[in-house]
């Protein structure tokens, strides 16, 4: 009976999520959504978060941002897109840029045109590695087969941005960041703390920030991640958020495993995931032995 009730509740939450998506530009209070679902506001908040992975407000925020993006892509100017998406004022959309657009609305509308992204590529013990950054922080870290292949990946992520090598841009800071990351991978030095330009949905960013709290040498299951971000039933969504991570190593999705201890997936290959975990465990063991 409980399983049937659980399935019915989940179906109701997905139906409500579809309603929010269709009315993302409208003012939707928690009480009005609760009335529509036939639940108390607190009950709705708890069940919706457990099933969908985020609160109703966070879900609407993400859907509204998607609507805003689609309006920009469709050719509307920033002001038109802002009001059509239900923001009410242009200042409201700038509040949503961090972790959403990751660039100004005008730059997003142009597919990143007008934004300069500087990158560097190094050969590490785990293969070719690229790091790229905007003026907000590191926006891309990826392993690949070759520098040209990595450049093609970066171009696909930011098709209209101006891409410049760190050397050509005389950008010493990025080269220093890349050297520090290479020292971590090749020689076991501490992982550098760098400014990050996180770009994703509200739920994805919560998962990535949770992963940033996991210490080197430790691992967590996808179910522990889901619980850690307040959405214990959103295990698949947590795993998907790990898979969507664009910042290899810096956002340590390699520390996420299946509940049975298996490695699970890793967009840069399971051999690299295993190597990263083995190196972190060895470093932690050495530090404990020397303590």
**37-59: average pLDDT:** 88
Spatial contact of 24 and 63, defined as CB atoms under 8 Å apart: yes
For 264-291, what is each residue's pLDDT tens digit? 889 999 999 999 999 988 877 665 555 4
Spatial contact of 273 and 236, defined as CB atoms under 8 Å apart: no
For 205-256, what is each residue's pLDDT tens digit? 889 989 988 888 899 999 999 999 888 889 999 999 999 999 999 999 999 9
What φ, ψ does residue 69 adopt, rounded to 5°? -60, -45
HSE (side-chain half, CA atoms, 13 Å) at 277:
19
CA 139, CA 204: separation in Å to the nearest integer? Answer: 15
Domains of the chain: 2-97 (1.10.10.60), 116-187 (3.30.160.70), 202-290 (1.10.10.10)
pTM: 0.63
Pairing of strands 162-165, 137-144: unpaired
CA 128, CA 218: separation in Å to the nearest integer? Answer: 25
Task: Just list the catalytic residues.
Answer: 253
Q: Which residues are bridge partners to 143 per DSSP?
A: 129
The SS3 of residue 244 is coil
């Amino acid at each position: 009976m409980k399983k049937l009730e659980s399935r019915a509740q989940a179906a109701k939450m997905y139906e409500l999520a579809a309603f929010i998506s269709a009315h993302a530009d409208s003012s939707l209070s928690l009480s009005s959504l609760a009335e529509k679902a036939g639940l108390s506001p607190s009950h709705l908040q708890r069940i919706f978060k457990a099933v969908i992975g985020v609160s109703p407000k966070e879900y609407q925020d993400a859907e509204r941002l998607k609507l805003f993006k689609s309006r920009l892509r469709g050719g509307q100017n920033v002001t038109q897109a802002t009001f059509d998406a239900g923001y009410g004022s242009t200042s409201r959309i700038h509040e949503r840029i961090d972790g959403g657009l990751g660039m100004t609305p005008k730059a997003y509308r142009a597919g990143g045109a007008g934004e300069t992204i500087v990158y560097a590529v190094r050969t590490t013990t785990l293969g070719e590695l690229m790091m790229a950054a905007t003026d907000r922080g590191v926006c891309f870290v990826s392993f690949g087969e070759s520098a040209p292949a990595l450049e093609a990946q970066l171009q696909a992520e930011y098709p209209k941005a101006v891409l410049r090598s760190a050397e050509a841009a005389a950008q010493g800071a990025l080269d220093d960041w890349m050297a520090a990351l290479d020292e971590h991978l090749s020689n076991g030095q501490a992982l550098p703390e760098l400014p990050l330009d996180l770009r994703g949905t509200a739920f994805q960013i919560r998962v990535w920030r949770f992963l940033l709290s996991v210490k080197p040498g430790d691992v967590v299951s996808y179910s522990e991640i889901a619980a850690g971000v307040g959405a214990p039933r959103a295990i698949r969504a947590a795993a998907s958020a790990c898979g969507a991570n664009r910042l290899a190593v810096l956002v340590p999705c390699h520390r996420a495993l299946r509940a049975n201890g298996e490695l699970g997936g890793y967009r840069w290959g399971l051999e690299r995931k295993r190597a990263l975990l083995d190196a972190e465990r060895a470093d932690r063991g050495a530090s404990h032995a020397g303590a």
